[in-house]
């Protein structure tokens, strides 16, 4: 190489035999109860067939990772013979480097032994070794999560993603010309059978309660009744829940892990400001399906002038209340005096708003094109 030239590493085009899978996490977002929720999607790709399988998880710790693998294997109906991963903290203690080969966590090695697959770790800074799954992460993000789906819970989202993956497998392989679903069936012949029993995934640690009877779970203090009476407690953590157990085996407390309830408000103040400037865009906005039903019906009208007034009403309330609280207290907060529609009584334009309570925003967007206040 001559002086001044930049070294460019040349990559080999990798071949992909059947029954070899790649695994990676991808962060995306869903809407639950009117709030944004971070979703950690664990994605398994099979380069031979170009198949992808996705499960949504609340985190990337070892319990989530291993439980996610179990879900992915069940979706496939088999176990890949080899599983290539990046240097995920949930599976890798030390990455391969000048100090030696990759050292996997004990929990991941036990899991791999139970299911019979061979774990493979990527070399440092060798993203091409799992380029297939990295591309699949982007594919899932832009095809399955744009716009962010409205969900009831993670089980609901898993069902949605399974349906989307099944439908996606109907398309043809980009090179082989065969439907992906046919190649999956062919590839499964080379995979391993699922074991008769699932691998139990959980973590266990010893803790003590503070003087307020609180125990740290995922770095958050959780009040556990009677916990302060014991000098030592055991916390059993599953991917979605926990149990606090006394030395004699009594369950003192249990519940969802703290991250299961983490969410954030959508930026409704700025969204409403945008709608106020362009009221005709409301029903076409990506955020309209995220409105609670009553509020969606209230703002989805033909008259831009009245629509603007109602958006201003929401802008005044969103400073104090969340959008869900406004929806729950809708009839209490609905303006009846000093409002352009007050002459029509407690229900503006003599509309019985209860009839719209069962409609979701997407139904309103399609049915509400007509003026519902005529």
Three-state DSSP class for 50? coil
Give the C-alpha separation, 87 to 23, whole Å: 11
Question: Phi, psi at residue 32, to the nearest 5°?
Answer: -130, 125
pLDDT digits (tens, 9 = 90+) for 109-142: 999 999 999 999 876 655 556 789 999 999 999 9
User: Which residues have a Cβ under 8 Å from the Cβ of 135 and sit 6 or more positions away?
Assistant: 45
pLDDT digits (tens, 9 = 90+) for 22-67: 999 999 999 998 899 999 999 999 999 999 999 999 999 999 999 9
Per-residue confidence (pLDDT) for residue 280, from 0 to 100? 85
Three-state DSSP class for 16? coil
- CB 65 within 8 Å of CB 42: yes
pLDDT digits (tens, 9 = 90+) for 137-165: 999 999 999 999 999 999 999 999 999 99
Which residue in the block uniquely carries the two structure tokens 């061979």? 118
CA distances from 272 to 242, 278, 336 (A): 39, 10, 21
pLDDT digits (tens, 9 = 90+) for 170-213: 999 988 889 999 999 999 999 999 999 999 999 999 999 999 99
As a whole-number percent, the residues of the chain with pLDDT over 90 amount to 70
Both tokens assigned to 307: 């629509």
- Report the half-sphere exposure of 181 (CA within 13 A, side-chain side): 9
pLDDT(106) > 90: yes
Give the C-alpha separation, 242 to 59, whole Å: 14
Length, in residues, of the chain: 374
Give the C-alpha separation, 287 to 233, whole Å: 45
Query: Per-residue confidence at 279, pLDDT binned at 50, 70, 90?
Result: confident
Per-residue confidence (pLDDT) for residue 341, from 0 to 100? 42
Indicate the domain borders of the chain.
20-188, 203-258, 266-367
Cα angle 54, 59, 62; round to 5: 90
What average pLDDT does the chain have?
Answer: 86
Angle between helices 268-277 and 304-317 (to 10 degrees): 160
Per-residue confidence (pLDDT) for residue 362, from 0 to 100? 54
Please check whether the domain covering 203-258 is classified as CATH 1.20.1070. Answer: no
pLDDT(347) > 50: no
Tally of CB atoms within 10 A around 342: 12
Which residue in the block uniquely carries the two structure tokens 């439907």? 179
Tally of CB atoms within 10 A around 334: 18
* Predicted structure pTM score: 0.82
In this chain, the answer to whether the domains covering 20-188 and 203-258 adopt an identical fold is no
Tally of CB atoms within 10 A around 32: 19
Both tokens assigned to 82: 């080899």
The CATH classification number of 20-188 equals 3.30.420.10
């Amino acid at each position: 190489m001559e002086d001044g030239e930049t070294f460019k590493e040349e990559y080999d085009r990798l071949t992909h035999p059947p029954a070899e899978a790649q695994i990676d996490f991808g962060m995306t977002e869903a809407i639950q109860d009117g709030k944004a929720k971070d979703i950690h999607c664990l994605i398994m790709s099979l380069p031979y067939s170009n198949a992808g399988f996705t499960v949504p998880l609340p985190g990337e710790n070892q319990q989530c990772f291993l439980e996610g693998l179990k879900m992915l294997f069940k979706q496939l109906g088999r176990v890949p013979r080899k599983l290539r991963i990046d240097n995920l903290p949930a599976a890798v203690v030390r990455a391969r480097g000048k100090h030696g080969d990759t050292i996997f966590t004990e929990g991941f090695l036990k899991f791999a032994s139970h299911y019979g697959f061979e774990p493979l770790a990527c070399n440092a800074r060798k993203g091409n070794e799992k380029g297939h799954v990295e591309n699949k992460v982007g594919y899932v993000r832009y095809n399955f999560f744009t716009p962010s789906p409205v969900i009831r819970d993670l089980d609901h989202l898993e069902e949605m993603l399974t349906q989307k993956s099944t439908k996606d497998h109907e398309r043809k392989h980009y090179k082989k010309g065969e439907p992906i679903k046919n190649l999956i069936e062919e590839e499964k012949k080379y995979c391993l059978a699922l074991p008769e029993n699932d691998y139990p995934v959980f973590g266990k640690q010893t803790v003590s309660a503070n003087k307020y009877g609180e125990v740290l779970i995922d770095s958050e203090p959780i009040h556990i009744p009677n916990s302060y009476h014991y000098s030592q407690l055991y916390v059993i953590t599953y991917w979605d829940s926990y149990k606090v157990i006394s030395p004699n085996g009594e369950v003192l407390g249990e519940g969802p892990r703290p991250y299961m309830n983490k969410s954030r408000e959508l930026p409704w103040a700025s969204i409403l400001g945008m709608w106020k400037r362009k009221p005709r865009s409301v029903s076409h906005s990506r955020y309209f399906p995220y409105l609670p039903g009553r509020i969606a019906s209230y703002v989805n009208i033909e008259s831009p002038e009245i629509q603007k007034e109602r958006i201003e009403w929401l802008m005044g309330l969103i400073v104090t209340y969340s959008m869900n609280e406004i929806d729950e207290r809708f009839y209490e907060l609905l303006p009846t005096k000093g409002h352009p529609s007050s002459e029509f009584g407690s229900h503006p334009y003599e509309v019985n708003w209860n009839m719209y309570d069962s409609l979701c925003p997407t139904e309103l967007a399609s049915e509400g094109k007509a003026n519902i206040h005529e």
